[in-house]
């Protein structure tokens, strides 16, 4: 059974940094791309970033480019999102989501999400 468990969400001041993690199990982690998708309170889904199965290719939404860094440790089946220079508009539930393929594709499994609140 595929399981994705996010952690690291917190209340953080504007300008601060936070690192989210996603522990994956139940599938061959290195074979699949992994996404971060966020959802601000009461709003729709916003794709944030994707990393290929081997970790060599990454893409970002313009809204986070230069501030967020996605990475993965295939030896530990873990996905991470380093978030710097956080803004109020980054407040959201952050989901990690498994891609159906090695890189860009639809997301077939989602974690329960971790809440990031950026506020002073």
Partner 1 sequence: DIQMTQSPSSLSASVGDRVTITCRASQGISNYLAWYQQKPGKVPKLLIYGASTLQSGVPSRFSGSGSGTDFTLTISSLQPEDVATYYCQKYNSAPLTFGGGTKVEIK
Binding site for partner 1 (CB under 8 A): 35, 37, 44-47, 50, 59-62, 95, 97, 100, 104-108, 110-113
DSSP character at residue 89: G
DSSP character at residue 5: E
d(CA 14, CA 78): 27
DSSP character at residue 103: S
Quote the least distance from Cβ 13 to partner 1, whole Å. 28
In contact, 26 and 2? CB cutoff 8 Å: yes
> Residue 16 or residue 27: which is nearer to partner 1 going by CB?
27
Quote the least distance from Cβ 108 to partner 1, whole Å. 5
Quote the least distance from Cβ 92 to partner 1, whole Å. 13
45 phi/psi in degrees, rounded to 5:
-80, 140
Cβ-proximal residues to 28 (8 Å cutoff; 6+ apart), any chain: none
Quote the least distance from Cβ 82 to partner 1, whole Å. 19
> Residue 8 or residue 60: which is nearer to partner 1 going by CB?
60
> Residue 27 or residue 47: which is nearer to partner 1 going by CB?
47
> Residue 73 or residue 108: which is nearer to partner 1 going by CB?
108
């Amino acid at each position: 059974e595929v399981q994705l468990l996010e952690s690291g969400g917190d209340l953080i001041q504007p300008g601060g940094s936070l690192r989210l993690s996603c522990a994956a199990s139940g599938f061959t982690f290195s074979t699949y791309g992994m996404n971060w998708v966020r959802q601000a309170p009461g709003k729709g889904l916003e794709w944030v970033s994707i990393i290929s199965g081997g970790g060599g290719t990454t893409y970002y939404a313009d809204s986070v480019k230069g501030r967020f860094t996605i990475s993965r440790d295939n030896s530990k089946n873990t996905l991470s999102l380093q978030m710097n220079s956080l803004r109020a508009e980054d407040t959201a539930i952050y989901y990690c989501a498994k891609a159906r393929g090695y890189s860009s594709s639809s997301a077939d499994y989602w974690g329960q999400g971790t809440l990031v609140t950026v506020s002073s």
